[in-house]
Structures are given as structure tokens and as C-alpha cells.
Chains A and B, each alone.
Chain A
Amino acid sequence: DAGVIQSPRHEVTEMGQEVTLRCKPISGHNSLFWYRQTMMRGLELLIYFNNNVPIDDSGMPEDRFSAKMPNASFSTLKIQPSEPRDSAVYFCASSQNLLGRADTQYFGPGTRLTVL
């Protein structure tokens, strides 16, 4: 398997622009997670889906952030409008959770976002 695929790997944009990050989870995995990592705040869970349904979005910073999972093989994280403080590395991860127990999460390589 190719692992979790994220695109783009790097994104540089200007404040106020819309940014869309994309993720393709590992085939057969039923849970998908979006994280944000910065030096100041460390690794933060933004939102996660189980069977394409959002389970917990309490980590989403504010209404400027939205995430969708239209099918089992694709998810997007959108920031509109973007701000400089959104600059971070965004990771997507997927796992195969059975019987309500969390199992190993497999992380993508991340998208490094810079908002000028």
C-alpha cells in the first residue's frame, strides 16, 4: 500500500486566501484524523471521522476551518480565510478501528502551510 497520501506537500499563500489540504487514507481504514503541529503548540488533533462521519471536531480552532470526508478514500481540510497564525504542518492519519478501540494510526508526510 502507498500509505496515507497528502497533497500538496508545501503550500505558500497570502493572508485572506482559501487553502484546501487533501488526504487519501489507507484503503480499508475506517477512521481518519487531521492534526496540526507547531513549535509553540505541539501536536493538536483538529477533527476525526469514523466511517466518513465526523465524530469530534472540538479541536477545530474556529469557523474558518472546515473538514469533509465525502467518501472513504478522500478528505479535505479547508481554511477560509487563511491567517498567518495558521502556518503549521498539517498531518492526516488513518487507522482501522474495531470494536470501538483505537488502533495504530498511520500518518501521512504532512503539508507544510505558510501564510504570509
Chain B
Amino acid sequence: GDSVTQMEGPVTLSEEAFLTINCTYTATGYPSLFWYVQYPGEGLQLLLKATKADDKGSNKGFEATYRKETTSFHLEKGSVQVSDSAVYFCALDGGSQGNLIFGKGTKLSVKP
């Protein structure tokens, strides 16, 4: 079945470092892909999404490009801030069932 695999955490970076969180997927067809972020004590919120191959989603300095050839949707940010400390979830469109399939989440900690 469809699935999402994202890199294990936790990831610890210093402020202004470059961030990459890897996400690969297995799916039939061409599902929409999402990145969600969960700040401490809050629910998940959409960070960015892409609906077709080669699309680039972007928000708050984060970017991810839908790569059909490598079935990947890696999250990147050029310069992280302490306020980016959170758990990041990759997800894909589960198809006609109408659900999203989430990865296990990657915890990011950014130190000043």
C-alpha cells in the first residue's frame, strides 16, 4: 500500500544552519504531497504542499520539490531559526479514500 518514509530524528542544528529533512514515498499514481509542522503543545498545521510532479511548495522560507523520478519530497530551509524548532511530518494523498498518509515525524531542535 501507499506509504511515506521520512528520516529519523531528532535533528539538532545551530541557528542559521541549512536544513534538509528527507521524505520518500510509495504510491500508485501521482498523489499530492504535503509537509505539516507541529509546534510544542499545538496541533499539526500545513507548512506547504505540491500537487504534481516538479511542483515546488514553499512557505516561511521552507521549500520542497515534488520529484517523481526519485519519489521524494525533501524539505529544505537555507537558514533555520530557533523558532523553527518543531516536529515535521511528511504526508501524501491517500487517493480515493480521502485520507492523508503521514510519516512518523522528524523532531527538529535549533540551538541559538
Contacts and interface: CB of A to CB of B under 8 A. Distances in A.
The DSSP consensus for interface residues of chain A is strand
A55 B46 contact: no
A42 B32 contact: no
Contacts of A105: 44, 46, 100
| Range class of the A interface residue count | 20 to 34
A100 B95 contact: yes
Contacts of A104: 34, 46, 49
A80 B12 CA distance: 41
B79 interface: no
Interface in B65-112: 89, 93-100, 102, 104-105
Given A42-B105, A43-B105, A102 B43 contact: no
A55 B97 CA distance: 8
A103 interface: yes
The DSSP consensus for interface residues of chain B is mixed
B26 interface: no
Interface string B31-54: 010100000001111100100000
B10 to A, nearest CB: 13
A48 B89 contact: no
29 contacts: A31-B98, A33-B99, A43-B104, A43-B105, A45-B99, A48-B98, A55-B98, A56-B97, A91-B43, A91-B44, A93-B44, A97-B98, A100-B95, A101-B93, A101-B98, A102-B93, A102-B94, A102-B95, A102-B98, A102-B99, A103-B32, A103-B93, A104-B49, A105-B44, A105-B46, A106-B45, A107-B44, A109-B43, A110-B43
Interface of B: 32, 34, 42-46, 49, 89, 93-100, 102, 104-105
Given A33-B99, A42-B105, A102-B97, 11 more contacts: A42-B104, A43-B102, A55-B97, A55-B99, A56-B97, A56-B99, A101-B32, A104-B46, A106-B45, A106-B46, A109-B43
